[in-house]
Amino acid sequence: MKNKTNFFYSLLIILAGVVYFPVEAQQKNGAQDVVKTKDVTTSYGPNSIVRTIKQDRKGNIWIASWEGVFKYDGKSFTNITRKVSSARFFSVLEDRKGNFWFASVGSGVYYYNGKSFRNFTTRDGLANDRVTHIYEDKTGNIWFGTEGGASRYDGKSFRNFKMKEGPAHTDADSIHVSSYQQPIPEGHWMHNDVNAIIEDKTGKLWFGTRGYASVYDGKTFTTITNKDGKPFTNVRSIIKDKKGNIWLGGANGLWRYDGSTFINFTRKFVGYIYEDRKGNIWTSSESPNDLNKAFSGSSGTNTAAWALSRYDEKSLSNKKTTVTEITNRPMIFGILEDDKRNIWFGALDGAYRYDGNTVTSFNGKEGQK
């Protein structure tokens, strides 16, 4: 019972948005080039937490996990970072030039040109070495969401931004789910712990943080409020759809902003949002089963706490939206539609792929469906 309680508590911490662990950062001397050594290739992917899945312009699938960054070519998995860093990776981005950026929690960011790596840390101007998100804006600047604010890299140097002025996070700080049930102080460090960044059609930048979400017009950060006048808290994902609408997912649920009005689709906690080619919206969110029942372990009990759901594009403008729950897992992270229209998603135990009928695990463990 004690082990089950500890596991449940750990998942609550992840849900709140904070994960504490020691990280062995191997690049401590600033932005140095590291020659790539021989890759480690296997028939299966990571067995641990997968936070982000992306597909590059050549069709390869890239998986950011706690075991490293994996590349899947359709036949085998290659751990790209295993010989370079033992850090836990949270995000991956292919920039417009075809180079890759990997975000780690504790070791800063890694730039990869296909042959060698370059590691950037606070010594080079990065706001914080705990980085969970990467975004490229219209002009080619690379943005990093860190625990100490947002960092913008123009190819030469970093410029750092804070949504709110206040003290930096320390290891003594912690987050409880109850923190979001009351107003968060203006100077609280959570306002600068950046989860998501997106540029809207007007050129303004939206930032989702552990605290409040805000929009930046190039001069000022403004806290975003919904139709009830309340701020969006612990926003984990922000996307811009094909029509230019902005979607936010977090502690307040799933919301869409059309440039003038916010519309709510669910009040359940939403971790990730993704739009497929047809305009359907995919989310990872709290399952109808409550967290107390999620890990009961009783025979015949649905042990899932999170759901992968699809919001039908044709119903998004209706008063009643059609939502299909595809599958359940204890936690579900980054979502991707590949060029064959399969849906990939990350979980606590690796990467999964949904082909429209079957969910397949790639963690190498027998019977994982």
* Residue 181: predicted pLDDT: 54
* Residue 6: predicted pLDDT: 44
Q: Is 112 helix (H, G, I), strand (E, B) or coil?
A: strand
Task: Name residue 240's beta-bridge partners.
Answer: 246
Report the distance separating Cα 260 and Cα 249, nearest Å: 18
Task: Name residue 9's beta-bridge partners.
Answer: none
Q: What is the DSSP letter of 122?
A: G
> Which of 186, 182, 190, 221 is closest to 204 using CA atoms?
221
Task: Give pLDDT tens digits for 48-92.
Answer: 999 999 999 999 999 999 999 999 999 999 999 999 999 999 999
The region of weakest confidence among 5-9, 232-236, 360-364 is: 5-9
Structural tokens at position 305 = 């706490």
pTM for the whole thing?
0.84
Q: Where are the alpha helices (DSSP H) in the chain?
A: 2-16, 291-294
Task: Name residue 71's beta-bridge partners.
Answer: 62, 78
Report the distance separating Cα 337 and Cα 355, nearest Å: 10
Inter-residue contact 55 to 42 (CB < 8 Å): no
Q: Is 183 helix (H, G, I), strand (E, B) or coil?
A: coil
At position 170, the amino acid (one-letter code) is T
Q: Is 124 left (phi over 0), alpha (psi -120 to 50) or beta?
A: alpha
Report how far Cα 270 is from the mean position of its chain's Cα atoms.
11
* Residue 157: predicted pLDDT: 97
Which residue segments constitute the domains of the chain, with CATH numbers given? 2-361 (2.130.10.10)
Task: Give pLDDT tens digits for 292-317.
Answer: 443 333 333 344 589 999 999 999 99
Residue 191 main-chain phi, psi, to 5 deg: -65, -20
At position 295, the amino acid (one-letter code) is F
Higher pLDDT, 10 or 57: 57
Structural tokens at position 236 = 């984990």
Report the distance separating Cα 348 and Cα 367, nearest Å: 16
Q: Please report which confidence band the pLDDT of residue 328 belongs to, taking 50, 70 and 90 as the band edges.
A: very high
* Residue 172: predicted pLDDT: 45
Look at residue 216 and tell me whether its pLDDT is greater than 60. yes
Residue 16 main-chain phi, psi, to 5 deg: -70, -20
Inter-residue contact 7 to 295 (CB < 8 Å): yes
* Residue 228: predicted pLDDT: 84
Residue 100: how many other CB atoms lie within 10 Å? 21
Structural tokens at position 180 = 């979001």
Inter-residue contact 108 to 119 (CB < 8 Å): yes
* Residue 365: predicted pLDDT: 72
Report how far Cα 91 is from the mean position of its chain's Cα atoms.
7
Look at residue 166 and tell me whether its pLDDT is greater than 70. no
Report the distance separating Cα 304 and Cα 289, nearest Å: 7
Burial 12-44 (b: 16+ CB within 10 A, else e): eeebbbbeeeeeebebeeebeebebeeeeeeeb
Q: What is the DSSP letter of 190?
A: G
Structural tokens at position 12 = 């609550």
